[in-house]
Amino acid sequence: MNILPVKNKGELSYNIVIDNSLDNLNESLKDTGRKWGRALIISDSNVSALYLNNVRSVLESGGLFTEIESFTFQAGEEHKNLSTVSIAYDFLISHHFDRHDIIFALGGGVTGDLSGFTAASYLRGIEFVQLPTSLLAMVDSSIGGKTGVDFKSFKNMVGAFYMPVLVYMNLSFLDSLPDNQIRSGLGEIVKHGLIADRNYLDFIYDNADLIIKRDKDTLSSIIKRSCEIKKYVVEKDPNEQGLRAILNFGHTIGHAVEKLSDLKLLHGECVSLGSIAASYLSYKRGTLSKNDYHYILNVYKKLGMMTGLDEDFNITPQDIVDATHSDKKRNGDKIRFITLDGIGKALMCDDVTDSEIADAAGSIIL
């Protein structure tokens, strides 16, 4: 078991616990020093069928709650919206949940984001725990307190910064993931190496075969390192006023592709494509060498990941440019775009033009 403390202004905010089972969940809850009345486990229909009863049984064995309820919503990004939040509010209200109670977000990024936003806004805030079940959620969305839901076709347009009281990662949850979900998580993992640690990217490349085979020790190592990188950035900039923006590397074009694909591609797959495009833009701007750009492409290829969109997607560079115009990072006619100043160092740019975005987008259209 690994424990990574996340601090806010020098004080402990919450722990990230990386474990191979749920055996230490109740002890980790006790370590928060808090006490609650009832618990609500929020999960989607896929994860609920796999893990809800197990998690409920573990929590019941700890004797920390007077009652444990569950709320399940239909799985899928298309259900990460205010309508689902409204149904969750109805459940909380009708079951008389109050500020002494707690929510457990059991699932991937959709569940974590939706549950976190529900917790942040219900009664102006009740506490919640992240129990991520996907690789993407473990290395990205469960850490840092960014919660939110989609509004119409705009991703994460409604949300709040709201920290969990605990993030508990049970790596055995990964056993049930299909390969595309693993690749989605790898999209964020590779991104961490690109923006913060070249040696980490080299480790990913050198151990790609073990990663694809889901070697437990290797997966544990990369999850821990990605959590360390995100933890460092979040501690320095919890509310995304400066440094934290580097975590958006690959997301400007990635979110556009995600929207234009009608959610046929997973978030991490789109981040991978966006990261390749951002790397190409960095190369064209002269801040990334040609060799390093091709090395980045080879990392994705060795991991068996997408490096471009074929004609079946029917997406053009101009489509992508147009989609970025609704990006949350846009300020007037400018957009904050994250590029690379070599592998392992992110560069924030406020002068990227639409023509440059179009050129970068063209690099991922086959």
Q: Cα separation of 181 and 265, whole Å?
A: 10
Confidence grade of residue 186 (pLDDT, cut at 50, 70, 90):
very high
Is 0.85 surpassed by the pTM of this model?
yes
Specify burial of residue 77 (Cβ count, 10 A radius: 0-12, 13-18, 19+): middle
| Vertex 115 angle, CA 109 and 118, to 5° | 140
Residue 81 pLDDT exceeds 70: yes
Q: Cα separation of 37 and 15, whole Å?
A: 21
Strand 334-335 relative to strand 330-331, pairing = antiparallel
Residue 56 pLDDT exceeds 80: yes
pLDDT tens sequence across 197-239 = 999 999 999 999 999 999 999 999 999 999 999 999 999 998 8
Residue 331 pLDDT exceeds 70: no
Residue 343 pLDDT exceeds 80: yes
Residue 326 pLDDT exceeds 80: no
Residue 152 pLDDT exceeds 70: yes
> What average pLDDT does range 82-93 have in this prediction?
97
Give the residues across from 79 on adjacent strands: none
Predicted local confidence at residue 202, as pLDDT: 98
Residue 289 pLDDT exceeds 70: yes
Confidence grade of residue 333 (pLDDT, cut at 50, 70, 90):
low
152: left (phi over 0), alpha (psi -120 to 50) or beta: left
Predicted local confidence at residue 336, as pLDDT: 85
Least confident of 12-26, 46-60, 146-160, 342-356: 146-160
Mean pLDDT score of the chain: 95
pLDDT tens sequence across 263-276 = 789 999 999 999 99
Identify residue 316 by its one-letter amino acid code.
Answer: T
Q: Cα separation of 97 and 85, whole Å?
A: 15
Residue 7 pLDDT exceeds 70: yes
Predicted local confidence at residue 39, as pLDDT: 98
pLDDT tens sequence across 10-28 = 999 999 999 999 999 999 9
CA-based nearest residue to 358, from 280, 300, 306, 293? 280
> What average pLDDT does range 38-42 have in this prediction?
98
> What average pLDDT does range 43-54 have in this prediction?
98
Q: Which residues contact 157 (CB under 8 A, 6 or more apart)?
A: 148, 149, 150, 151, 328
Q: Cα separation of 268 and 100, whole Å?
A: 35
Element spanning 286, H or E? none
Predicted local confidence at residue 330, as pLDDT: 64
Least confident of 33-42, 80-89, 145-154, 161-170: 145-154
Confidence grade of residue 247 (pLDDT, cut at 50, 70, 90):
very high
Give the alpha-carbon dihedral of 16, 274, 154, 358, to 10 degrees.
160
Residue 328 pLDDT exceeds 70: no
Confidence grade of residue 325 (pLDDT, cut at 50, 70, 90):
confident
